[in-house]
Chains A and B, each alone.
Chain A
């Protein structure tokens, strides 16, 4: 990593920390979503008991396999792409590329952000029916990438979830 990249990363983390301490700044984020205000919110019903449900987890915390390309931190409008992460992936095979929040705790214990290990445990003891392929995005997506997210990448994940017969999805933010 070059000195410039290190500086960028440090600045990004500083902004993330500032963001987490100043909710007012974060509130401004909500204003980016005027376009969907008033649109109907869908509600699908979960018809099966939990022990029969295949779950998937999705995080917007920038998690990815070390072998996958990192999220693009050079575009200030965010990166609307996603990474598919097999349910059996060990935490050591994962890393986080996201400059806008402090993820040092999540790197110590990924369950606080993307609970693959807990999900596998719940599946092993029969509390849930199974854990399918999980997915990771990067948060902080701004126009025009919001359109890509809404029209391309999020629908692509929805198709894969259906193909894998996932019954319900838990989403966790950064």
Chain B
């Protein structure tokens, strides 16, 4: 996935990857990544947990504006189910 992101970014389109394995991202170095150590197959969270899914979308899209250095991996530290997720109030960015 990181390789695809690098190709697209090199074509001039900003990318952000949600990643589950920091070790791989440190090797592949996608331009921007949000690390969530969650179960495989669940990059945006649990089925039906809309607030959790939107929180991941929000932080990933925000990274498109905040990351200034290529290869940055953001780590929000969200603990899967042991977290109170709230739908973002506003999506104003940039």
Q: Does the CB pair B4–A171 fall under 8 Å?
A: yes
Q: List 27 A-B contacts (CB under 8 A).
A: A26-B24, A30-B27, A33-B24, A41-B29, A46-B94, A49-B92, A50-B92, A58-B4, A61-B41, A101-B40, A108-B48, A112-B45, A137-B1, A146-B3, A149-B4, A154-B7, A155-B11, A161-B13, A167-B14, A168-B14, A168-B61, A169-B5, A169-B15, A170-B18, A173-B1, A173-B17, A173-B19
Which of chain A's residues has its CB closest to B25's CB? A30
Complex alpha-carbon distance, A151 and B14, angstroms: 19
In the bound complex, CA of A58 to CA of B8 (Å): 11
Interface-central residue, A30, A61, A103, by most chain B CB under 10 Å: A30
Query: Which residues in A have some Cβ–Cβ distance to B below 8 Å?
Result: 16, 19-20, 23, 26-27, 29-31, 33-34, 36-37, 40-46, 48-51, 53, 55, 58, 60-61, 101-103, 105-106, 108-109, 111-113, 115, 118, 122, 127-128, 137, 139, 141, 146, 149-150, 154-155, 157-159, 161-162, 166-174
Docked pose: A106 CA to B46 CA in angstroms: 9
Q: 10 smallest A-B Cβ distances: which pairs?
A: A109-B47, A127-B91, A43-B70, A30-B27, A158-B11, A154-B7, A49-B94, A20-B40, A41-B70, A50-B93
